[in-house]
Structure 1
């Protein structure tokens, strides 16, 4: 009998996504694993139990986790879930480790080897395992769909016999994965799109999608990209110049979408109440960073609120709003990473703690928190 993989049904935060798809079950079977999917795990992602069974998995219950060598999750396991895992089990999920030391200690105490998928390094080899990118891509798309549904006018320009409807003006702040997809989606819907970012490399990408780039392009701007490809904090002087330019630009927009997140920090404040006040009544703003405190002043996590006459959309778990697509991509990220932990020869689990992907993502192992960013020692 091969090692057992358990796919959990998510219990926290009304999470509709699931950590496996029929495709990835087929792949895991081919890798030599037995697979048990908790009953109803894929239901909210439009994957009935029968679809998993067709690919050779067994449909089980939460108690099956006790014999699993690998547990696949979307969100970090709760204390109750952890109590049902066997020591030494490999647990893959989005662990949200920043500021959650107690939860990390609990995973260490349970003796599991927990991996935070969101810490996957942004290197070529790991692109297909990058959950931040796969989920942000869909969040960027969904942000535009959510904005369009709250916006009480049409997005594209329409020339009709009864007159012309002007195109909506959409401004995207932050041209990372989510921002670029938001630009592309707003363009497909026929909006006039502009965007801003503190990374010089973003200018070209924004232009290639047919949007106008808005930024103060001084010397500091030209030097502003960190090695990891994330934006780095800018000086107060630069921020003031950029804020003035943005404030002037926002006043002309119908829809603003903010996507700025720096891992492990509170989200930077990009849009103030003053800026919202300058927008036309009935404008819409979407805050994709609301889970980390938000980019928009007045945004409320999990709600659509009116701030200074602007509808501010603060949905949580935006990728989960299109769970049927998000789960398929997330599941593929997981199985691709899991494959690196399997010996091709023996078709058994073979965890190499020297692998750079393992070093970057492993939070707990052997009863301890091992990740250097979260209190673990740097010794291998």
Structure 2
């Protein structure tokens, strides 16, 4: 069976959830018209990556933080419902990256939404990176998960989770076939070697080779005008701005690049037609959780249990089951996902 994968390379409407939701729905329609079965969005696509965290000292971030909270989504909210309805209307699966508001806390979230609008997977970034920890909370092992879909076994991680060897190994062990690597705005800090697009794409390509899976990379871009959303003292672009940042790609399970590269400043969607059977040939060469493993020497201890600050006797202490029922039990009414809002 041929499957068409697609990756978004675009600029969000910075700090504006409503405008970015409208743009998201338009991109879903465009990808569906292009024949895509699965569409990947960047990390914190809605309402855009919080560039202010890298641009200012903490005492100057207050107004940005308040605006970011106000423009973060709730999983059971009206804006998410509209995105889910768009997936159902166009019969497409997406992996959406967004800032999730839960109570008074924010999380770097990804939701996999199926072609019926049901939420197949909702996860949060296990450990926010560097200054991200001042804004976002952490998750637990229940989000390190690969799910069965009509397209195959699909998983997703955010940004520098792709630099965590044990996290990657836990994903590989679940027979992941298609992986969504959601990256943030790569139009900032591009001159820093560890954060450069070259290093980030190398990590994505390595994931494909190690895991023997197809990897979709999606990233935000930043324009000259967008960079002024986070102005310097003179009203110019944020001092961390390095321009462009678009790196939407698909890698095969043998690490081969399967898509044509868009210019890093250009918005668009890239597509790749894949056949999952090619994974078997790739893993014949290298399968680090199969024939190439040595569990008698090295093994991973993986706690996939959900963690809650409060456990109430008589209620399921399971983040996934309690918050997000299986898609078959969902209706698109906006009320089926009780949230801790």
TM-score by length of 1: 0.25
Q: Provide TM-score, normalisation by structure 2.
A: 0.27
By percentage of residues, which structure has more strand?
2
Instruction: Report the structure, 1 or 2, having the larger helix content.
Output: 1
Structure with max Cα Rg: 1
